[in-house]
Chains A and B, each alone.
Chain A
């Protein structure tokens, strides 16, 4: 049974293109693949933002339009740079707010209504709840801006090596309850979910279909962000679970395993070949 449509649900994230290829190249290649939906990394040279401003996006808009692409999610770099949602230093808190506020403004500019998020992390030797309170405060401030811009956050869990305060569905639920705002929703990252030993159905049981608005649909063992066929997950079963849980969002391909960065298009081709037997046009 083909539960989802390629045109409506399949989404490619440009993370594995970003290090070595231009924005235009990514867009052109998506057209070649017949992909219509994209999730975009913001913050690097390809779609620049920082806490001080937003880069000129006219060429990016043109490339998206020329290649028939719709931006479904903006994912401001939230793991590598100085900005992370649970940051503790006073100066950094303000810079982080401005950075993610700019990401939301960029999303609105690109007619996109979701900004991907995670919980961020505290210091390893710090009480976990202290960090959770800080990210909840950051999310609450951003929700107010989200209301004005019509942009909603989708918060994923991380792996424990990335964040001990936000690696389980129950951690995300706790923060979800603290923020308690319609602009703050959640998303499933299959790798983080797999590492935590959780299932898709558990996430929907905890949050309800109306609150799970995005997914990073990647294979894993359970670690790593592999293309499908290179990890240990069962795509057919995962898609069946999503469908039966009433999922309506994107199936976004976040392929971050090192070798894909050298030839991201080859990774996409290989990945789509696996997906093709599970997708309607």
Chain B
């Protein structure tokens, strides 16, 4: 059976946003995790084009619980600023937002910022969307190089954005950006949605895969492990084969379950309005516990 270090698991706060940030940190510490991937979203962490919140208390709150913020997840899809934005005035404002993400990562002690390419418009054409992303990443990469932070670009599923959905598209993008500070994040759900494999990703990108978003899915949906269709055993074996030692970010999307009938049909407590544990949107702690439990058979150390 493939083995995984517990320190490779990185809890993410994206589904904890209706609880205080400290509750999220407590939950991760209680599970014995060592690393977190901080979703830089409201109200847990304010990141904007004008700047970002004081990082010292955030970092200290994590350290007090034995947690390191190893990755900053920069909201690149559902927030107003996107890398592929086709309106020049707004695209430029977005550059400040993404540069601030790099600076915030540095201040938090995180070596990696995860971004994705959204905001393209079909009627303006895919070429424009890609060229905006390339240009933006070239500019932001300068800040990343200066700060010693790596930007990890992930692919997205077509329902999130049509611009970079596949491995060849990501490879092309990285080649055009051509910066040592811009690398790849493998999102398992987007990978499988595109019909790709872990082997293909590592063959193509190798050690340029600096982070992984590791969730179950059908094939998308970013579900808790055990709720989807992904072959966990096989995936961990592949990661072990390729010697991957980076983090596995658990950025589950339990909120999305309420809005996608394809995901909710078998979901317990869907219509509930109380804080029942099987209703993960009301109980993120239970979601994280279930996730770590599903992975526990593979954990060592």
Residues of chain B within 8 A (CB-CB) of A46 are: 87
On whether A45 and B85 interact (CB within 8 A), knowing A80-B78, A159-B258, A258-B159, the answer reads: yes
- Residue pair A48, B80 in contact (C-beta under 8 Å): yes
Counting CB contacts under 8 A, is A87 at the interface? yes
- Residue pair B43, A81 in contact (C-beta under 8 Å): no
Q: Kindly identify, within residues 150 to 202 of chain A, every residue whose CB is under 8 Å from any CB belonging to chain B.
A: 159-161, 164, 167, 195
B120 closest partner in A (C-beta): A20
- Give the contacting residue for B20; candidates A24, A80, A123; CB below 8 A: A123
- B20-43 CB mask vs A (1 if < 8 Å, else 0) is 100100000000000000000111
On whether A261 and B159 interact (CB within 8 A), knowing A80-B79, A161-B258, the answer reads: yes
Residues of chain B within 8 A (CB-CB) of A121 are: 18
On whether A123 and B42 interact (CB within 8 A), knowing A45-B80, A48-B90, the answer reads: no
**In the assembled complex, how far is the CB of residue B222 from the closest CB belonging to chain A, in whole angstroms?**
14
Q: How far is the CA of A82 from the CA of B44 in the complex (A)?
A: 10
Residues of chain A within 8 A (CB-CB) of B122 are: 20-21
- Residue pair B123, A43 in contact (C-beta under 8 Å): no
- Give the contacting residue for A88; candidates B43, B48, B49, B53; CB below 8 A: B43
Residues of chain B within 8 A (CB-CB) of A45 are: 80, 82, 85-87, 90-91, 119
Q: Is the interface of B mostly helix, strand, loop or mixed?
A: loop
Counting CB contacts under 8 A, is A44 at the interface? yes
**In the assembled complex, how far is the CB of residue A231 from the closest CB belonging to chain B, in whole angstroms?**
11
- Residue pair B86, A124 in contact (C-beta under 8 Å): no
Chain A interface: which size bin?
A: 35 or more
Counting CB contacts under 8 A, is B260 at the interface? yes
- A230-266 CB mask vs B (1 if < 8 Å, else 0) is 0000000000000000000000000010100110000
- A20-45 CB mask vs B (1 if < 8 Å, else 0) is 11101100000000000000000111
Counting CB contacts under 8 A, is B261 at the interface? yes
Counting CB contacts under 8 A, is A1 at the interface? no
The residue among B91, B93, B120, B281 with the most chain A CB atoms within 10 A of its own CB is B93
Residues of chain A within 8 A (CB-CB) of B90 are: 45, 48, 55
Q: How far is the CA of A161 from the CA of B87 in the complex (A)?
A: 33
Q: How far is the CA of A160 from the CA of B159 in the complex (A)?
A: 25
Q: Kindly identify, within residues 112 to 135 of chain A, every residue whose CB is under 8 Å from any CB belonging to chain B.
A: 121, 123-125
29 intermolecular pairs with C-beta atoms under 8 Å apart = A20-B122, A21-B121, A21-B122, A25-B123, A45-B80, A45-B86, A45-B90, A48-B89, A48-B93, A50-B80, A50-B93, A81-B78, A82-B42, A82-B43, A87-B42, A88-B43, A91-B46, A124-B19, A124-B275, A125-B20, A125-B275, A161-B273, A161-B281, A167-B273, A195-B271, A221-B261, A223-B258, A256-B259, A262-B159
A sample of 8 more A-B contacts (CB under 8 A), given A50-B93, A82-B42, A92-B43, is A21-B123, A45-B82, A87-B43, A92-B46, A121-B18, A167-B273, A256-B259, A258-B260
Interface residues of A (CB under 8 A from B): 19-22, 24-25, 43-46, 48, 50, 52, 55-56, 77, 80-83, 87-89, 91-92, 121, 123-125, 159-161, 164, 167, 195, 221, 223-224, 256, 258, 261-262
Closest 8 CB pairs of A and B: A82-B42, A160-B273, A45-B90, A45-B87, A25-B123, A124-B18, A161-B258, A80-B78
